[in-house]
Chains A and B, each alone.
Chain A
Amino acid sequence: MTEGLHTPAELYRRMRLIRVFEETALRLVKSGDIVGGTHPYIGEEAVAVGVCAALADDDLITSTHRGHGHVLAKGSDPARMLAELAGRDTGLNRGRGGSMHAADVSVGILGANAIVGAAAPIAVGAAWAAQRSGSGKVVATFFGDGGLNQGVLLEALNLAGLWQLPVLFICENNGYATTMPTRTGVAGTAVGRAEAFGIPAATVDGMDVEEVRDAAAEAAGLARRGEGPSLIECMTYRFGPHHTMEHRIKLSYRTQEEIDEWRTRDPLDIQGRRISPAIRDQLDAEIDELMARAERFALDSPHPDPAGALDYLYASGLVPRGGVVD
C-alpha cells in the first residue's frame, strides 16, 4: 500500500492536500505565476487517492491532462510539483513538462499525458514488461469518459485482455468530455466496453475514497495473481472548470443546480465524517502549513536558463542545431 494512505485519516489528509494544492494553483494562475493554466482536479480527489491507496509504492501509474491529483496521490512532493507548474528549475520535470506532463519516476509515475487516451497503451507496455519480469508490479492508467472514445484505448484494452496483463483501467467519469455530456458522446457504457474484451469491470461511487480503494484493491489483487486487467468506472464530478481559461470565456454547459447537487457529495466531506472533527481540523492546519511552504519553495525557486531550452531532448546527449547558425 502506498506510504501514507493506510488509515481513514491519511486518506482524508491526501485528498485535502490535493484540494488545497489545486486551490493554490488556481490562485497562482490568476496571479500569473502559473502560465498556460491548469485543469483542476477539485471534486475528483477520491478517485486518485482511492486508487493509489490500493497500489504498492513500486507500482506504476500513468496520468492525464487533469493529473495533479494522481501525481500527489502517488506520493510526489507537492513543493516540486508546484514548482513545475510555475515553470521552475526545481520542478519535478525541471520546468520542461508543466501541468499536463508531470512525471516522477521515483514514485512510479510514468508521466501525465496531454493526448486523451494516449497513456493507456503505454501503461499496457509497462504491464507487459512487469509480467515478463515477474516483478509482480501492477500499472494503473487513469483516463476520463472522453478517453472511452479513443481508438487507441480500445486497442489497449484488447491487448491487456488478450495477454492478461496486470493493468487497472481507471475511468474517471466526471460527466463531461470538456463540454460534451457523457451521454451524448458514449454509445454503450464504460463497463460494457471492458466486458466486450473479457475484462471484469465495475462502476463505483467516485466520491467515496474508501469505495474506490476497495474496488481498486480487488482489481490489483487479481492483477498481482496473474488474473489480468480490470476496469473501474468511478462516477465523479469536477466542481470547477475543464480548464482555468473557462472562467475568462464564460462557457455555459452545466446548470448551477447540477454543480450544487454534486457539491453536496464533496469527497472530502464524505471522508471527513469518518474521522473526528479535532483530527480533521488538525490535518487541515497541517496541510495549510505544508502548502504555504510549498508555495514559498516554488516561487523562490530559480527559473530555468533559456540557454538550456532543449536540454534533455536526446538521451544520447546529441545537441540539435540552433534556429540560427552563424
Chain B
Amino acid sequence: MPRLSYTKALNRALGDELERDPAVCVFGEDIGAGIAQLTLGLLNRFGRDRVVDTPLSEQAFTSMATGAALCGLRPVIEFQIPSLLFLTFEQIANQAHKMSLMTGGQVHVPVTYVVPGSGSRAGWAGQHSDHPYSLFAHVGVKTVVPATPPDAYGLLVSAIRDDDPVVVFAPAGAMNVRDDVDFAALGPVPIGQARVHRAGTDVTVVAAGHLVHDALAVAGELDGEISVEVFDPRSVYPFDWAALAESIGKTGRLVVIDDSNRSCGLGAEVIATVCEEMALVAPPKRVTRPDGAVLPFALALDQAVQPAREQLAAAIRAVMK
C-alpha cells in the first residue's frame, strides 16, 4: 500500500474538498506559496478566487471568513502559528461560535480553522508553541485533534462539511507520521467519534494528537506487564463519552495524557466526568503540562514542561498499584 504522510493527508483533504464543493475557499498567510504545506499546489489548481493570500491581519481575515460563511461559502482558514488562536479568540469564540444561537438559528457559520503544527515545534519558544485545544472545548467550539494521516484526512473533510465552526489542531509532533494507506478508503471521519488504537484490559489511556503515538509506544513497552488500552477521542469537543464509558467499563482504570496546562485542561474534564459518571477501581492520574506553562526556549526546558513517555509509564504503573 502507498505511504501517506499526515501533512500530505491534510493537503489532499483540502484539495479534494475544494474540488468537490465550489463554496469551499481558503484564507491565510503565505498559503499561495504553501509555506505550511497544507495548501501546497492548491493556488495553481484552484486560482486566487479560491485560495486567498491575506495580509498579516489575522483578526480581520478570521471575521472575514465569518462574513463569507454568512453568504453561503465554506471558508477554511490556515493559522501559521497556534498562538494566533489567542489573537483571534474574539473572532472565533465570541463572533463565529455565537452567531447561530444569538440569531435564533437564522445563520450558520461553517468555517474551519486549521493549525498545521500546533503545540511545541522544538525551539520556537513562548509565542509559537501553544496547544490551546482545551480552550476551544471549554467555550464549546467543535475541536478535533487528529493523530494519524487517515484521521487527519477524514476529520478535516468532516470539519469543512460541518455547518458549525470547527478548529482542527494538527500537532507538530504528528505532522511527520506516515501510514500505509489505501487511498480509495480515505473518507470523512465523524466529528465526536473516538477510536481505540490498541485494545487492553488493565488501564485506559486517553491521548489525543501526537500523544497517541507516545501512548502506543509506552503501551508497547509495558506489553506483558500491563495491558493498556489506548483511547483516542479524536474530537476533544464534542467528546465521545459513550465510547470512553465502554473502555472504562472494561479496564476500571484511567490515565489521561494531555498537552494542555493542568488547570481546566482536557485531562481535568475527562477525569471529572469519569469520576462522576463511571466506575473506577483505582484513583485516576493525569500527565499534563504544568499549571500556567509558558514553553521556555532552550530545548531541555521546552521538553521539561511537555508531557513525557516516562511520566506516562509511571502514571500507568501508579494506577495499577
Q: Which A residues form the contact surface with B (CB < 8 A)?
A: 60, 91-97, 101, 103-105, 110-111, 113, 115, 118, 120-130, 132-133, 139, 151-152, 155-156, 158-159, 162, 310-316, 318, 320, 325
Given A152-B60, A155-B57, are A315 and B100 also a contact pair (CB < 8 Å)? yes
Name the prevailing secondary structure of the A interface residues.
mixed
Residues of A within 8 A of B162 (CB): 316
CA gap between A158 and B59 in the complex, in Å: 12
Would you call A316 and B106 a contact (CB within 8 A)? no
Residues of B within 8 A of A129 (CB): 67-68, 71-73
Would you call B65 and A111 a contact (CB within 8 A)? no
Residues of B within 8 A of A152 (CB): 59-60, 63, 91
Would you call B105 and A312 a contact (CB within 8 A)? yes
Tell me the total A-B contact number using a CB cutoff of 8 A. 147
Would you call B222 an interface residue if the criterion is a C-beta within 8 Å of the partner chain's C-beta atoms?
no
Would you call B164 and A314 a contact (CB within 8 A)? yes
Chain B 79-120 near chain A by CB (<8 Å), digits 1 or 0: 000000000001100110001111111111110000000000
Given A126-B67, A130-B71, are A310 and B60 also a contact pair (CB < 8 Å)? no
The 9 closest A-B CB pairs, nearest first, are A125-B67, A94-B104, A155-B60, A315-B163, A125-B64, A121-B63, A312-B105, A129-B71, A315-B108
Given A93-B102, A97-B103, are A126 and B71 also a contact pair (CB < 8 Å)? yes
CA gap between A78 and B311 in the complex, in Å: 62
Given A121-B59, A158-B55, are A103 and B66 also a contact pair (CB < 8 Å)? no
Would you call B101 and A313 a contact (CB within 8 A)? yes
20 A–B contacts, CB within 8 A, in A order: A60-B71, A93-B106, A101-B102, A111-B99, A111-B103, A118-B94, A121-B59, A125-B63, A125-B66, A125-B69, A127-B67, A133-B71, A152-B63, A152-B91, A155-B60, A311-B101, A313-B100, A316-B163, A316-B164, A318-B164
Residues of B within 8 A of A124 (CB): 60, 63-64, 67
Q: Which of B267-285 contact A (CB under 8 A)?
A: 276-277
Would you call A315 and B164 a contact (CB within 8 A)? yes
CA gap between A251 and B49 in the complex, in Å: 50
Chain B 8-27 near chain A by CB (<8 Å), digits 1 or 0: 00000000000000000100
Would you call B61 and A121 a contact (CB within 8 A)? yes
Would you call B67 and A123 a contact (CB within 8 A)? yes
Would you call B140 an interface residue if the criterion is a C-beta within 8 Å of the partner chain's C-beta atoms?
yes
Shortest beta-carbon distance from A155 to chain B in Å: 3
Would you call B238 an interface residue if the criterion is a C-beta within 8 Å of the partner chain's C-beta atoms?
yes
CA gap between A130 and B73 in the complex, in Å: 10
Residues of A within 8 A of B107 (CB): 103, 105, 110-111
Would you call B135 an interface residue if the criterion is a C-beta within 8 Å of the partner chain's C-beta atoms?
no
Would you call B308 an interface residue if the criterion is a C-beta within 8 Å of the partner chain's C-beta atoms?
no
Residues of B within 8 A of A122 (CB): 63-64, 66-67, 70, 95
Shortest beta-carbon distance from A12 to chain B in Å: 30
Residues of B within 8 A of A159 (CB): 54-55, 57, 60-61, 64
CA gap between A133 and B68 in the complex, in Å: 11
Would you call B95 and A118 a contact (CB within 8 A)? yes
- Closest-by-CB residue of A relative to B88 is A152
Given A121-B59, A152-B59, A158-B57, are A128 and B64 also a contact pair (CB < 8 Å)? yes
CA gap between A92 and B71 in the complex, in Å: 19
Contacts A130-B71, A159-B54, A312-B103 known; list 12 others, CB within 8 Å.
Answer: A103-B103, A125-B71, A125-B75, A152-B59, A152-B91, A155-B57, A156-B60, A158-B55, A159-B60, A315-B105, A316-B162, A318-B164
CA gap between A60 and B163 in the complex, in Å: 21
Q: Which of A121, A133, A315 contacts B64 (CB 8 A)?
A: A121
Would you call B60 and A311 a contact (CB within 8 A)? no
Would you call B70 and A320 a contact (CB within 8 A)? no
Q: Which of A101, A129, A310 has the most CB of B within 10 A?
A: A129
Chain B 269-304 near chain A by CB (<8 Å), digits 1 or 0: 000000011000000000000000000000000000
Residues of A within 8 A of B238 (CB): 318, 320
Would you call B105 and A111 a contact (CB within 8 A)? no
Residues of A within 8 A of B164 (CB): 314-316, 318
CA gap between A104 and B105 in the complex, in Å: 11
Q: Which of A120, A128, A133, A162 has the most CB of B within 10 A?
A: A128
Shortest beta-carbon distance from A77 to chain B in Å: 14
Would you call B106 and A105 a contact (CB within 8 A)? yes
Given A97-B103, A103-B103, A315-B110, are A126 and B70 also a contact pair (CB < 8 Å)? yes
Residues of B within 8 A of A92 (CB): 104
Residues of B within 8 A of A314 (CB): 100, 142, 164
Shortest beta-carbon distance from A126 to chain B in Å: 4
Q: Which of A91, A110, A115, A312 contacts B101 (CB 8 A)?
A: A312
Would you call A125 and B104 a contact (CB within 8 A)? no
Would you call A162 and B55 a contact (CB within 8 A)? yes
Residues of A within 8 A of B100 (CB): 312-315
Shortest beta-carbon distance from B18 to chain A in Å: 14
